Amino acid sequence: MPSRSQVFLTDSLKEMNTSSLTVGIVGATGAVGQELVRLLHERNFPMSSLRLFASARSAGKTVEKYGKKYTIEEAKLGAFAGVDVAFFAAGGSVTKAFAADAIKSGCLVIDKSSVHRMDPAVPLVIPEINPQDLLKNQGLIANPNCSTAVTLMGLYPLHKAFGLKRYFAATFQSVSGTGAEAIRELEDQTQAYVKGQPMNKKVYPYQIFQNCIPQVDSFGADGYTGEENKMMLESRKIMGMPNLKVSTTCVRVPVVRAHSVAVNAEFEKPVSVAAAREAIAAFEGAVLVDDQAARQYPTPLDFAEKVKCGVGRIRIDTAFDNGLSFWVSGDNLWKGAALNAVQNAELMIKNGWLKKKA
């Protein structure tokens, strides 16, 4: 199996000599789907054609992107013949309905939903952390939860430096994580406030404007939400630590784009702020923004539409032995979804693991 250095992550494929692929995006009209279209073009992904799939009500509509016109196709059984790689970004029900059929047709599926993330036979991959797991795919690669991905961009390099024992986290999640309708709801409530009008709520159980909602996903019998359990289980799988202790509280905040996470972590080895900063600065997926005197630290606005996540507010944790506290911000639509999926496909191509069908 290739070493970590043999599957080094690149920012684009401009220099890549590879056959052009037929690429599909399922859920192309959604928030993540639109970001996939953008990133595939901006990162010069080697595609000879791009096919956009959505629900039956969107099928037949024409959209113009990057000087090209695309006709939306209905996502349905049999629609993926000839597609080399398909990015699924339309939710779990769509994945359940069509992913197996796409794989059967010879298509590699990279799925955003949580349906197969914890399936032992399906690799769950963040390319800066466990790219070698891509080799285990049987036609399907799972993309991690957005909060998990952003958190691990700060936590993983510290784990490599000090040996992670357990972590606690509180998330500050943007409304774009819920989708385009949630963005509209925040915008509508903001406009209603300015005009002195009543605020309507549909997406969230409470008004999101000027508010924080400590519930992301539904509650389980243990009192934790689905999002909180995803962070625990996915962290264990991605980092190869099946017994890792994790406790999280996930909160929706009135921010349009990019999630932030406050993390308190305990490690096996003695820690120092200087060594932690060095580990973050050297990591491919992170940018160190940590200058207290200059009031420099990551914010969602600063890291929206950024490839890397920002890590700062690094300090010795006063409640843990060998503990560190830090703050990380990252784009949930990019590293938490579309970008991570594209990076996984790029690595598959770069290492000869994904080629155009004959």
pLDDT tens by residue, 156-181: 999 999 999 999 999 999 999 999 99
* Inter-CA distances, 171 with 48, 226, 262, 327, Å: 39, 13, 6, 10
Under DSSP, the state recorded for 145 is P
Q: What is the mean pLDDT of residues 214-224?
A: 98
Q: Which of 18-22, 33-37, 75-79, 204-208 has the lowest mean pLDDT?
A: 18-22
- Per-residue pLDDT band at 10 (split at 50, 70, 90): very low
Q: What is the mean pLDDT of residues 285-305?
A: 98
The answer, yes or no, to whether residue 197 has pLDDT greater than 70, is: yes
Give pLDDT, residue 280.
98
The answer, yes or no, to whether residue 16 has pLDDT greater than 60, is: no
Kindly state the percentage of the chain with pLDDT values over 70.
Answer: 94
Of the candidates 77, 21, 78, the one whose C-alpha atom is nearest the C-alpha of residue 44 is 21
Strands 62-65 and 68-71: antiparallel
The answer, yes or no, to whether residue 289 has pLDDT greater than 90, is: yes
The span from the CA of 260 to the CA of 38, in Å, is 23
pTM above 0.85, yes or no: yes
DSSP string spanning 225-261? BHHHHHHHHHHHHHHT-TT-EEEEEEEE-S-SS-EEE
Give pLDDT, residue 107.
96
Determine how many CB atoms are found less than 10 A away from the CB of residue 156: 23
Of the candidates 150, 135, 151, 91, the one whose C-alpha atom is nearest the C-alpha of residue 115 is 91
Give pLDDT, residue 303.
98
Strands 140-142 and 108-111: parallel
Give pLDDT, residue 19.
62
- Per-residue pLDDT band at 2 (split at 50, 70, 90): very low
Determine how many CB atoms are found less than 10 A away from the CB of residue 142: 28
The answer, yes or no, to whether residue 9 has pLDDT greater than 90, is: no
Give pLDDT, residue 67.
87
Tokens of 344: 């996984």
- Per-residue pLDDT band at 120 (split at 50, 70, 90): very high
8 A C-beta contact, residue 313 and residue 290: yes
All structural domains of the chain? 4-144+337-350 (3.40.50.720), 148-332 (3.30.360.10)
Tens digit of pLDDT for each residue in 242-275? 999 999 999 999 999 999 999 999 999 999 999 9
Give pLDDT, residue 83.
97
Positions marked catalytic: 146, 259
The answer, yes or no, to whether residue 224 has pLDDT greater than 80, is: yes
* Inter-CA distances, 246 with 57, 94, 242, 266, Å: 41, 30, 11, 11
**What is the average pLDDT score of the chain?**
94
Q: What is the mean pLDDT of residues 115-119?
A: 98
First to last CA, the chain: 26
The answer, yes or no, to whether residue 4 has pLDDT greater than 50, is: no
The span from the CA of 301 to the CA of 289, in Å, is 14
